[in-house]
Amino acid sequence: MLYKKKSPLLIFLLPGIILMFLFLYKPFVENIINSFYDMTSVIKMPGQEWKFLGLDNYKKLFSDPKIRIAIANSLKMMVLAVVFQVGIAFLLAVLVSLIKTGQQIFRTVYFFPIVISATAIGLLFKLFYNYNGGMLNQIRLAMGKEPINWLSPSLAFIMVSIPTIWSYVGFYFVIILTGLNAIPEEIYEAAAIDGCSRWKQVLYITIPLIRGVMCTCVTLAVTGALKVFDLPWVIVPKGAPQGVTHFLGTYMYEQTFSISNIDYGSTIAFVIVILGVIVSKIVSTLMKPDKNL
């Protein structure tokens, strides 16, 4: 064994454990407790009593029309994230992996949106979608067409989804490209000698060998879709128009901080965590890497 005495290691692990307890596990437990009470303030003052509601907030979830919209939008975003975020990232990574020199340029270009603030990206796309003077409507006017309200109830979800998906393609691209570069080149050379086409090499060699990497990307994509907040909130605050662009993250924030319905917001936050655990478990089970590879 590398270390015979484990006690010195605990000294280095202890600060991390304390921080995780204070800023992760303790708030999570408090959040669950808050969901069972009628919270009239963020902090319980001395002598103040909160009414015990039991499961009332959880029952309210089944009769709240906005939570149904938020869940539906989050599930749709989940599918879009897997298909487009991970899918496009995979295609780009496969194409770039064929380039022997200059891969770093593509890594930088595709990863660049990640380093930009989500608020800045949201404001940028909001300007694109602006009815008066927005870039998209300026193009339509130049083509002799009438401007469109890009954030109307029928288009708002699509318009919000585009920057949300685009901003994280580079993140998954870098992860997948790293996995592709770890595959020995000799495998592809042997397949090419046997007459295997490039498409078949991707299908029967690349995908099976990076299944673990793809599982990680899909898990991150679906759990990330459940907590989408910043971009939609900047582009269409409070689920506008008419609440059709609410996601679980935005609806939780609105209930907690805009309406000060803290206990119901805590309930929604708990639901987000539970859904995230369930979905990630399903994904990891379905995409479990083959141990024989």
| Distance separating alpha carbons of residues 220 and 209, to the nearest angstrom | 19
DSSP letter (8 states) at residue 238: G
Signed CA dihedral, 139, 145, 150, 154: sign only: negative
pLDDT digits (tens, 9 = 90+) for 16-72: 999 999 999 999 999 999 999 988 777 776 767 788 899 999 999 999 999 999 999
pLDDT (0 to 100) of residue 143: 94
CA atoms within 13 A on the CB side of 186: 1
Residue range 115-136, pLDDT digits in tens? 999 999 999 999 999 999 899 9
Nearest to 168 by CA among 206, 127, 223, 123: 223
**CB distance 80 to 165 below 8 Å:** yes
Where do the structural domains in the chain lie, given as residue ranges? 53-286
pLDDT of amino acid 17: 92
pLDDT at 293 over 60: no
**Third-level CATH fold of 53-286:** MetI-like fold (1.10.3720)
